[in-house]
């Protein structure tokens, strides 16, 4: 087998600087999972529809399966692990647990990253707005109601108007 073209990527992942040589066709999702062992980012469809691979790139949520690791060179990436460590999604995680908003858990990292993005930009989202935000994320277990409940709970507990 002829050797495959590689490229050096340097980026920060959850605040830590990493530099690796990777094959140019490696997706950012695979890079996070296989090269860095950050398996919290899940890979469902690998073509942008399921949302399980959602991460933050320079502060904005994106599909990590639709980016090449090479494209993240110089960027700041945050994954569900980073958001967990910083405590940013602690209230969401608590609410997901309390409301049974996960069963198999496959969709959960993507849901949490997406919900955290909504809560950053919208103080008290309506249920309609919550549904709008997570319409980009598939869950094959819960039927979504519990997830909407959990996100609503996290939002309202945060603003203290309950």
Partner 1 sequence: MKPARFNYHRPGNLPDALALLAEHGGAARVLAGGQSLMPLMAMRLTRPEELIDINRIDELKGITADDTAVTIGALTRYTEILRSEVIAAAVPLLAEAIRHVAHHAIRNRGTIGGSLALADPSAETPAVCLALAARVIARSAAGEREIPIDSFFHGLMATELAEDEILVGVRIPKRAASARHAFLEFARRRGDFAQAGVILAPGHTGVPENRAVVFGVGATAWRSSALEGAMGRNIADDVYAALRLEVAAAVEDETADYKARIVTTLAERAMARLA
Ligand X SMILES: Cc1cc2nc3c(=O)[nH]c(=O)nc-3n(C[C@H](O)[C@H](O)[C@H](O)COP(=O)(O)OP(=O)(O)OC[C@H]3O[C@@H](n4cnc5c(N)ncnc54)[C@H](O)[C@@H]3O)c2cc1C
Other CB atoms within a 10 A radius of the CB of residue 1 amount to 3
Q: Which of 9, 28, 32, 53 binds ligand FES (CB under 6 A)?
A: 53
Q: 127-140: buried (b, 16+ CB within 10 Å) or exposed (e) per residue? A: eebbeebbebbbbe
- Alpha carbon distance 74, 72 (integer Å): 6
Q: Which of 12, 39, 94, 103 binds ligand FES (CB under 6 A)?
A: 103
Q: Which of residues 41-80 bind ligand X (CB under 6 A)?
A: 48-49
Stretch that binds ligand FES, among 9-17, 51-59, 81-89, 124-132 (CB under 6 A): 51-59
Nearest to 140 by CA among 37, 30, 27, 42: 42
As a whole number of angstroms, the distance between CA 146 and CA 152 comes to: 10
Options 18, 66, 91, 141; binder of partner 1; rule CB under 8 A: 66
Given candidates 15, 48, 105, 143, which one binds partner 1 under the rule CB under 8 A?
48
Residue 9 makes contact with partner 1 by CB under 8 A: no
Binding mask 110-139 toward ligand FES (x if CB under 6 A, else -) reads -----------------------------x
**Does 132 help bind ligand X (rule: CB under 6 A)?**
no
Contact 22, 67 (CB under 8 A): no
Phi-psi region of 14 (alpha: psi -120 to 50; beta: other; left: phi over 0): left
Q: From the CB of 54, what's the least distance to ligand FES, in Å?
A: 7
Residues forming contacts to ligand X in the complex (CB under 6 A) are: 48-49
């Amino acid at each position: 087998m002829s050797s495959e073209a590689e490229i050096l990527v340097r980026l920060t992942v959850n605040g830590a600087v990493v530099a690796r040589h990777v094959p140019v066709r490696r997706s950012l999702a695979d890079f996070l999972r296989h090269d860095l062992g950050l398996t919290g980012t899940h890979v469902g469809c690998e073509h942008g529809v399921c949302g399980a691979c959602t991460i933050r790139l320079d502060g904005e949520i994106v599909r990590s399966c639709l980016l090449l690791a090479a494209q993240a060179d110089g960027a700041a990436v945050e994954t569900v692990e980073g958001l967990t460590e910083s405590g940013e999604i602690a209230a969401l995680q608590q609410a997901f647990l309390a409301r049974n908003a996960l069963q198999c858990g496959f969709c959960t990292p993507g849901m949490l990253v997406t919900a955290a993005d909504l809560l950053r930009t919208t103080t008290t989202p309506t249920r309609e707005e919550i549904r709008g935000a997570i319409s980009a994320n598939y869950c094959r277990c819960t039927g979504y109601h519990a997830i909407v409940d959990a996100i609503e709970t996290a939002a309202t507990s945060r603003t203290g108007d309950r």
